[in-house]
Amino acid sequence: MRVVFHGVRGSVPAPGPSTVRYGGNTSCVEVRLADGALIVLDAGTGIRGLGGALLRERFAGPVNLMLSHTHWDHVLGLPFFGPLWLKQTHLVVHPLASDAQERFQRTIFDDIHFPVSAADIPARIEFARPESDSWRVGSATVRRIALNHPGASQGFRIDDDDGSSFAYLTDNELTAPAKIVTTLDELARFTEGVGLLVHDSQYVHGDMPAKRGWGHSVIDEVLELGAKALPGTLALFHHDPDRSDSDLDAIGDRSREWMQSRSARVEVIVAHEGLALEPRAR
């Protein structure tokens, strides 16, 4: 398995000189499985660069798109995904967090928000309908879990047949003030022992209480999850658009110190655009 980050920012794109090292594109992560199958997690503005790379590669297999949810920052790049405009592309959209979110395609491609309507997209689009919350994609088993976010969100765990594993949990408030859909302990069990755990890490304590209930996690809570789940690597993700490169450097240093103080054998990194990882087998 190989994981590549194409967009790591949350809420809104944040280009500019203060974000050039970590990147300003919103959420998009590419996963290549052991058998070469492609999974794309979220379609934020980072998917535009991924589309260009796939066109240059002349990638011919199905594109398996898994969306955490359909807030704008997670679907905004889809109209600019190059393979979408080729008739030979087969785009498989996997189950969404709620039935209401399946309207997203018609909302974007409605001749008002974008000049091309859904009916005029040349690619073949299929909406997958697995019978449970666990299904096969290529050489991997995919599972999903509900997250704590306004309007609903979902996370994914991908276990490849080569023994490597990856979990993607973004737009999740671990200690949400309203009813908790899935607890930290439940998420720790869901992600236990994965080679790579990516989690929403948008806020620091100084952002609270003003942003409590907004559907994103405070970094120290994410570190607690990492200390319980014990992934090989914990990647902090979905960075606040106001967070500069130097801010994220400091967050990385402090987070690694925190994990070392707990004697947890977990590597902590701050995700950046272009970062490519191969999660080690369990």
CATH code of 159's domain? 3.60.15.10
- Total domains in the chain come to 1
Categorise residue 150: left if φ over 0, alpha if ψ from -120 to 50, beta otherwise: beta
CA 65/CA 46 separation, integer angstroms? 13
Evaluate if residue 281 carries a pLDDT over 70: no
Evaluate if residue 25 carries a pLDDT over 60: yes
Evaluate if residue 282 carries a pLDDT over 60: no
pLDDT at 107: 82
CA 107/CA 119 separation, integer angstroms? 12
pLDDT at 113: 87
Beta-carbon count within 10 A of 162 CB: 13
Kindly state the tokens that stand for 248.
Answer: 């994220």
Place of tokens 């790591």: 8
27-45 residues labelled b (16+ CB within 10 A) or e (exposed)? bbbbbbbeeebbbbbbbbb
Query: pLDDT, tens digit, for every residue of 169-196?
Result: 999 999 999 889 999 999 999 999 999 9
Does some domain include residue 114? yes
pLDDT bin (cut points 50, 70, 90) of residue 148 is very high
Coil, strand or helix: which one is 218? strand
Specify the amino acid at residue 43: A
Kindly state the tokens that stand for 222.
Answer: 């994410």
Place of tokens 């399946």: 102
Does some domain include residue 185? yes
- Using alpha carbons, select from 238, 171, 251 the residue that is nearest to residue 205: 251
Query: pLDDT, tens digit, for every residue of 70-94?
Result: 999 999 999 999 999 999 999 999 9
Does some domain include residue 155? yes
CA 201/CA 213 separation, integer angstroms? 14
User: What domain range is 272 assigned to?
Assistant: 2-277
**pTM value surpassing 0.75:** yes
Average pLDDT over every residue of 28-36? 98
pLDDT at 106: 75
Does some domain include residue 112? yes
Does some domain include residue 282? no
Across the chain, mean pLDDT equals: 95
CA 61/CA 259 separation, integer angstroms? 40
Does some domain include residue 178? yes
Q: 58 or 110: which carries more pLDDT confidence?
A: 58
Does some domain include residue 101? yes
Query: pLDDT, tens digit, for every residue of 214-223?
Result: 999 999 999 9
Does some domain include residue 39? yes
25 in Cβ contact with 72 (< 8 Å): no
